[in-house]
Amino acid sequence: MTSQMKQEPPVQSKVIVITSGKGGVGKTTSAAAISAGLAQRGYKTVVIDFDVGLRNLDMIMGCERRVVFDFINVIQGDARLKQALIKDKRLENLSILPTSQTRDKDALTKEGVEKVLNELREEFDYIVCDSPAGIERGAQLAMYFADEAVVVTNPEVSSVRDSDRVLGLLSSKTARAENADAEPIKAQALLTRYDNQRIASGEMMTVDDVLEILAVPLLGVIPESTAILRASNTGTPVVLDEPSNASAAYADAVSRLIGEQVEMRMESDRRPSLFQRLFGRTA
Amino acid sequence: MFGFSLRPRKTAPKSAQTARDRLQILLAHERSSGSGPDCLPELQRDILAAIKRHMKIDTDAVDIRMDRGDELSSLEINIEFPASQPAR
């Protein structure tokens, strides 16, 4: 092997879709954090924006000023993949493939997506696909060739319902679902915007409530955190920003994604009071 | 005056200000027509065609980079040609 940094290089490169159905639950934030986390651990990682027409991953990754060519240009043969990939300035293992701001999702074709993904598989260990919201063409193409799925869910009724819908699509409308010999997509739930205080007061569903309904393994719980807005303001993936509970939770989720056993932590963003700190945790 | 000043202490720039600045620059570029990313494939083709009239180069040997700034943007075009292929 060429690299000794990698802990356990995946035998084959993996395509991971970050999806949710519902919008605004944290797909792009999660795609940015997870891809940066994978790259931090030495894996060659690329993150692709599938939200054609409403490009935003470039802003969250902080490379919006450097976009020249995009995913659609590559699919349509106007640019080579190498030209469209933007190398992250913080992590040399990380690349971003932005999407088009001017086209619509009809510019994506199954054949085109497959060709680009196959080319990326030759160079990268992990290919993270940031799905658009909804369950239309863009979202379906983002998940179609996936090996694994991260379903981003908020502990809230409409988000859980949409996640259930998406889990149904993952197990029926994807390449792995259509191939009887293939293992089904490995789908895991990532709970975001989790608020311990509101759960304690009974206002919000608990992790167990959500998992019982969705019946999928849990990849991680990301607490509601001020760090998320700050990171997107500055165009920094959360795991590369100042340490916070959210960045620690994403780092744990990345560990689980690559197969490590990490205990689930459930901390809220609130700092312990002086009293709590003086007398230790007596939970 | 020693030690004290009435001006507020210099703090790290607030991230909301960063967000505002980034959006202003980006949206100014996106709103102006003709500077969108879709003009670049055409620009690339035109540049290649012009150069090809004078020297032999590979279509794949072109690298275009852009950096959109507040005051000015830069477009960087690198064209590689084999050492054995002197420019005529």
**Do the Cβ atoms of B19 and A69 come within 8 Å?**
no
pLDDT digits (tens, 9 = 90+) for A85-140: 999 999 999 999 999 888 877 899 999 999 999 999 999 999 999 999 999 999 99
Give the one of B19, B64, B67 whose C-beta lies nearest to A233's C-beta: B19
Distance from the B39 Cα atom to the nearest Cα atom in chain A, whole angstroms: 10
pTM comes to 0.84
- The model's pLDDT over A195-212, given as tens digits with 9 standing for 90+, comes to 988 888 888 899 999 999
Residues of B in contact with A234 (CB under 8 A): 15, 18-19
The pLDDT, as a whole number, for residue A2 is 46
Instruction: Report pLDDT digits (tens) over A49-79.
Output: 999 989 999 999 999 999 989 999 999 988 8
Distance, in Å, from the CA atom of A101 to the CA atom of A86, rounded to the nearest integer, reads 16
Q: How confident is the model at residue A282 (pLDDT cuts 50, 70, 90)?
A: very low
| Residue A185 pLDDT > 70 | yes
* pLDDT over 90 (residue A13): yes
Query: Given A59, A83, A233, which is nearest B64 (Cβ)?
Result: A83
Closest CA to A150 of A265, A238, A33: A33
Please determine, for residue A3, whether its predicted confidence score (pLDDT) is greater than 60: no
- Is the predicted pLDDT of residue A242 greater than 50, yes or no? yes
Position B66 scores a pLDDT of 80
Q: Which of B15, B22, B38 sits opposite A230 (nearest CB)?
A: B15
DSSP state, residue B10: P
Decide if B37 and A68 are in contact by the 8 Å CB cutoff.
Answer: yes
pLDDT exceeds 90 at position A280: no
Token reading at A253: 């989720």
Contacts of A135 (CB under 8 A, 6+ apart): A21, A165, A166, A169
